[in-house]
Every structure is written in C-alpha cells, then in structure tokens.
Amino acid sequence: MQKIEKWRVEELALVLNELVALLRAGDNNEWANVFLHFLEEAEKIVSRKEFDSEATEKLARNILNCFDRNSSFINITLRNENPREEQKLNQALLLTRARLLNVLNDIQERIIEQIH
C-alpha cells in the first residue's frame, strides 16, 4: 500500500507557484488567481503537522477540473508585447501544464492505491 508523501504536495506547490508566475507574466491574472488559491491550499496542507490525505485528494480533484476539455485553461494563450517572449511564455506554459498534470496523476494514483 502506497501513500502520498508530504514532499509530493511540496512538489505540487512548486509547480503551482511556477504556473502562477507564468500566468501573471503572460497577462492572465484571472487564471493566475485561480492557481494562487490552489497554491495557498497546497501550502496549508504542507504546513500541517498531521498530513491530511483527504484535503490533498480534494485539492488534486479540484485542480484536475481545470484540465476538463470544456475548461478555458486548456486553450489559453499568454500575451507579451515581444513576440519572442510571448512564444517562450507559451512554450513554458505547455511544459508547466504537462508537469502539473503529471504530478496530479501521480497523486491520484497513490490515492487510489491507498484506498484499495
């Protein structure tokens, strides 16, 4: 039986922090604020003495909803006055979204394994 380690939530917080910075740099404050909220929730989980797997599961599920095919998060484009910088931001966004999805999928797998 595997469990979710605290460092996995710390990793989630790092990726969320990076995503918030990218979204702000790309002039998308609405989504930046959404992920800032998720970041704050992850930091609360990490700061607790007792690890809260229920809160972690709920957080992961809520973030995964942003990856729903009907979510605008999947199709956002970051903006910058400099076309090269805009391209770099959007490339970084693609990579960061993929990293976030990998971390979330790993957490979900561990939650499922823990339940069985």
- Which tens digits make up the pLDDT trace of 12-34? 999 999 999 999 999 999 999 99
Is 111 among the domain residues? Answer: yes
H helices present in the chain, as ranges: 6-25, 29-47, 53-64, 83-115
Tell me the pTM. Answer: 0.92
What contacts 75, CB < 8 A, 6 or more positions away?
none
Q: Name the amino acid, one letter, at 74.
A: I
Q: What is the pLDDT of residue 1?
A: 39
- Is residue 74's pLDDT more than 80? yes
Does 34 map to a domain? yes
75/24 Cα distance (integer angstroms): 16
Query: For residue 1, is it within any domain?
Result: no
Tell me how far apart the alpha carbons of residues 59 and 24 are, in angstroms, rounded to a whole number: 22
In a domain, 45, yes or no: yes
Residue type, 86: E
Number of structural domains the chain divides into: 1
Domain residues for 74?
6-115
Structural domain includes residue 95: yes
